[in-house]
Amino acid sequence: MTNPTRGERNNNPLNIILTNTLWHGMVQEQTDPKFIIFIAPEYGYRAAARIIRKNYFAGRTAINAIIAAWAPDVENDTQAYIADVALRVGTNAYQPLEITREKGQASQLLPLLKAMTFHENGRCIYPDDVLQLGMDLEC
């Protein structure tokens, strides 16, 4: 295996930026100056799923709106990010996704998280059950 990416080293596959928000599963001593370090990737996916669901239920229901909030133009090529994720999810970037709050319900959240992981890291080394566990964590 090649060297782990920053997101993989930090157990933060979507590279959530370090802020004053305290997330369940954060490492006590944060040594990365920019991105959160989690104790396991499931907690990184838990935080990402919660952020995406919050945006989704606030009206950002399509990939273009979700990614624009996630990766603003000031620090990303947001349009390339949107196009890449839409292609990987297999949908139009402007079509509303189906994302639910309930565990086990049909949802496009898992393919969205996987596509965003590919974009952030250039690959996704995690099996779907790791992403699903993170999405389902209620802590």
Looking at the domain assignment, is residue 115 inside a domain?
A: yes
Looking at the domain assignment, is residue 1 inside a domain?
A: no
DSSP conformation class of 74: T
Mean pLDDT score across all residues of the chain = 94
Q: What pLDDT, on a 0 to 100 scale, did the predictor assign at position 101?
A: 77
Range of the domain at 22: 6-136
CA atoms of 33 and 68, how far apart (whole Å): 23
pTM, to two decimals:
0.94
Could you give the number of structural domains in the chain?
1
CA distances for 101 relative to 49, 104, 137, angstroms: 10, 9, 12
- Per the listing, tokens 């996630």 go with 70
Looking at the domain assignment, is residue 19 inside a domain?
A: yes
Top-confidence residue, 107 or 91: 91
CA atoms of 72 and 74, how far apart (whole Å): 5
Cα dihedral 91, 114, 61, 34, rounded to 10, equals: -140
Q: What pLDDT, on a 0 to 100 scale, did the predictor assign at position 90?
A: 97
Question: Using one digit for the tens of pLDDT, what is the confidence trace for 23-38?
Answer: 999 999 999 999 999 9
